[in-house]
Chain A
């Protein structure tokens, strides 16, 4: 048996692999597809929405900074329109004007008045030293004289403090004068970097050559330092500085962090407003979604694999059992066929042996006849020898008859039974059958009881088949009793009665070993036997069951292990 199961396992090996592969791969396909597709759409949507929000922020912020610069410029223009050059030159008038200006915006640090030659005429603010200095050749002065107003980049200037200025011109040619205000970089910085997006969102301004104009919150580059990233910014920004479009892109900074950038040009200054956010931060939801997805994949995958392994084991176990059952059924079938063949062969032999027996019989008779004739001729002294010969002849006759009895018995056993239905009376046939086994029961110490109710209805059936059923059940009962009680204390009862439906019911009960609950469902199955190999075909009860069923009856069993078994047969009554 061990060898068989080992073989079976080897046979199952490739099958196991393919079942397992299928069980894992097939659920994995829709699983991965569902996760992949939803993750892809989620990621795309998130990317789009983060980019959109970044764009919106940079746009709003740009407006704000633009309007701040515009307002400061308007503040100065208001003064130049309200006052004349002489008005401001008068005594400490500029201090009063500066005080008013500061009230409008705290961003103003100082205010200076310049004549057309660039001489610093009047000044209000912290840095008194600079009065009288000539600015004629400074870039800002030239520009303001040219265009009427000017907003500078951040520079240190004579003061060595980073600042930027707004200057406006009034008048023309030699009467022209310029009012210049310095803007507090702290205030401007605060304004620019006010943007807050997530944890790492920040904004700063770069001039047209990539020099930082405001502090960057995350550090990295200080004010007035060149942003090393600037070179890598999309070129379209440089090529068309007047373009007000918003660019978004992703860049990796030297620290290997990826940033999401949105940039736009300010309107009235060639400054680039940069809003950026660490990608990790912007896609935080995406990353958590990714982790959840990964977790689902791992857990789901594990569940699929475990289930697949379990199912495969289960299927293989089932296949093994089926294979084993099939094998044992096959063996039993072969045994049954062999038995049937042996039966047929035995019948053939018996028939063939009858011919020589017939001849021996004839020869014997001839010898005997001749003997009688010879005996009459011989002297009486040889009587003793003759008697001996006669005795021997009688033995021959006896043994030939014995042989013929054996062959007849074999032939009777092997005879093919055509069922010939007839009406059977249980009151006659059951006692007849029981009579056949009474002697055996007596020898085995079994108390045989029979109670046939007189009103048990007649039924239709083949007498020899019915006999086969009853004998089979009684013999089984005797075996069960012998197992439980040996040769004393057995009880076997055969009773019959009329059921409430008017059918004939025959009960055969014993107090033998009984049938285990595991087996009770299988006892009518063909080839099921609890007897050792070669002792039982496992066909007896199934044949009985088939016979009773063919007669339109039923056969049931009740059994309790250790207590005994009762077989109940019901047969439709013959009217």
Chain B
């Protein structure tokens, strides 16, 4: 199984630094971004499975970022990280395609747990996609060429 690659998005630099370190100690590959814009750039450059996204950020906020991620990278799973006052926006996030949400202040273990769940979901989804493609290729091997062309 492929190792889970995480992206942490939060405007608090210190939080990013500490959390990245803690997660790496637990053996996860972690990338960080301090804004929605940066997160989108990172997603372009690298393969990321799960994004942990703070809802309240200056500039492009969590929900806008989420919509952009889902538009360009529909298979990336997103876990929203929210303060209590913005539960409503977390709900909006779930409606826009977030996998789950977490309440601040959250334990690192909670975050990892939710991230793992989201990763599993993604893997199941990828599995299905793979199975479907296999079926398609079995029926008509020429489709591979078409897929490549696309």
Contacts and interface: CB of A to CB of B under 8 A. Distances in A.
A350 B22 contact: no
B105 interface: yes
A407 B84 contact: yes
Nearest to B81: A358
Interface stretch (B12-20, B40-48, B68-76, B127-135): B12-20
B133 to A, nearest CB: 40
A352 to B, nearest CB: 8
Contacts of A369: 22, 25
Contacts of B108: 361-362, 365
Secondary structure call for the B interface? helix
B22 A366 contact: yes
Contacts of A366: 18, 21-22
B22 A355 contact: no
A255 interface: no
Contact of A357 (B22, B56, B85, B104): B104
Contacts, number: 63
B85 A350 contact: yes
B147 interface: no
Residue from the set B83, B86, B87, B107 with the largest chain A CB neighbour count within 10 Å: B83
Interface in A352-398: 354-355, 357-363, 365-366, 369
A146 to B, nearest CB: 138
Interface in B16-64: 18-19, 21-22, 25, 56
B85 A414 contact: yes
A359 B85 contact: no
B144 interface: no
A348 to B, nearest CB: 7
B85 A362 contact: no
Interface residues of A, number: 24
B21 to A, nearest CB: 6
Nearest to A407: B84
A354 B83 contact: yes
Contact of A354 (B14, B25, B84): B84
A465 to B, nearest CB: 18
Contacts of B105: 354, 357-358, 360-361, 400, 404
B106 interface: yes
Given A351-B56, A369-B25, A358 B106 contact: yes
Nearest to B20: A362
B84 A361 contact: no
B85 A347 contact: yes
B19 A351 contact: no
Given A359-B12, A359-B15, A400-B105, A351 B84 contact: yes
Given A357-B105, A361-B107, A404-B105, A412 B84 contact: yes
Contacts of A354: 83-84, 104-105
11 contacts: A347-B85, A350-B83, A355-B104, A361-B108, A362-B15, A369-B22, A408-B84, A408-B103, A411-B83, A411-B85, A415-B85
